[in-house]
Amino acid sequence: MVKYLTPGPVQLPPRIIEAYAKQPMFHRGKEFSELYSDVINQLGRIFRGYTVSVLPGTGTFAVDVMVYNFIKPGDEVIVPINGEFGERLAQSVESRGAVVKRIYTEPGESICDHVKELNVKAKAIAMIHNETSMGVANRCISEVAKVIHDNGGILLIDSVSGVPAEPLNNDADVIATATHKALLAPPGGSIIAFKDPGLIVSYPKPPSMDLGNYLKYSARLETPYTPPINVLYALRESLRYILDEVGLEKYVAIHDEKIRLLYDELNDVGFKPVPVNPNDRSRTVTAFYSPVNPAKVIDYLRQNGYVISGGMWRIRERSIRIGVMGDVTLDDLRKVATLLKKLTANQP
């Protein structure tokens, strides 16, 4: 058996797996309406002031749904990029036929160091909240929102690996996330939170991606198409745990403690943090330049019961990433740190 310390999908607690492993119900009955209502109401406690829709799909699909509902061909969109997922977001916007202006940072830098460069009139800024590939959180959502709102545009946020361990205020116009990362549920649920349904563009979009369809059905506590029923079972249980048993503030603090442990323990043995500024370190995934070949590090940890991830984007061949979301304890992280200290001590 191995334990997953990955950027997602995450290691699930047994209770979430048990909730998931049920007979899927019929999605046009009273029982489903009760489940759907419970999940939407709980998500409303995280996305306060937003309308929330849950669609079948992944984080990537959630981002595409966000783009296709709030951007139309020909729109000018600014996409600041500080990692792999910023680049993917730009590609999604381009696939819609919009005109993309990319603004790049160096690996490990936050978008927040480049807010002044975003002060351009455009239909939207589309940005990553938590750049999984770099272990960097872009926490300047309020500042970026002011820039684009002052220019008459809207702010679209990809927070697939962020919320709720990386908190969000209600400054963004639209947020895309998914069930299988910090929301502590299995893959299969795409989540879109949006402030104003009036911002949904009337330009054609695939029916399965049309939030207008979801709004119509949501009014009677249904979905237009078959939903990820078992994912919703699990998500209801995970939200009960996060919101009612732990509490959002403590949930964030738990992730803070986990990343501090890894950065403190590994820095002295040659694993240098990828985030340039310690204040920009993601609470959900750590990233390090590795003093040992990353493939060797990954294989060594797997042999000892832990699965981590390799690097991405421009530092793919030089870095590793260790996720702290899910059923991962401080003791797990101490063991990983001890193993990595042993590995580096045995290098010639």
Where are the strands (E) in 133-284, listed by range? 136-137, 154-158, 174-178, 188-194, 272-273
| H or E element that contains 335 | helix 330-345
Distance CA 147, CA 121 (A): 9
Q: 231 and 253 in one domain?
A: no
Closest CA to 124 of 144, 90, 153: 153
Cis check for the bond before 164: say yes or no (omega within 30 of 0). Answer: yes
* Domain that includes residue 211, residue range: 15-244
Q: Which pLDDT does position 1 carry in this prediction?
A: 86
Give the chain's residues under pLDDT 50: none
CATH number for position 282: 3.90.1150.10
Longest dimension (CA), the chain: 66
Q: What angle do CA 176, 179, 184 make, to 5 degrees?
A: 130
Q: 110 and 174 in one domain?
A: yes
- Both tokens assigned to 209: 């991606």
Q: 163 and 260 in one domain?
A: no
Cα radius of gyration rounded to whole Å, the chain = 20
Q: 161 and 30 in one domain?
A: yes
Helix (H, G, I), strand (E, B) or coil at 130: strand
Q: 141 and 87 in one domain?
A: yes
Q: 154 and 218 in one domain?
A: yes
Q: 99 and 25 in one domain?
A: yes
Question: Any idea what DSSP says for residue 158?
Answer: E
What tens digit of pLDDT does each residue of 322-348 get?
999 999 999 999 999 999 999 999 887
- The sign of the dihedral angle between the CA atoms of 9, 11, 14, 16 is negative
Q: Which pLDDT does position 222 carry in this prediction?
A: 96
Among 244, 276, 303, the domain boundary falls at 244
Q: 238 and 179 in one domain?
A: yes
Among 229, 244, 259, the domain boundary falls at 244
pTM: 0.97
Quote the number of domains for the chain.
Answer: 2
Q: Which pLDDT does position 346 carry in this prediction?
A: 81
Q: Which pLDDT does position 121 carry in this prediction?
A: 95
Distance CA 147, CA 129 (A): 16
Q: Which pLDDT does position 252 carry in this prediction?
A: 98
Q: 184 and 270 in one domain?
A: no
Q: Which pLDDT does position 347 carry in this prediction?
A: 80
Give the distance from CA 178 to its chain's centroid: 7
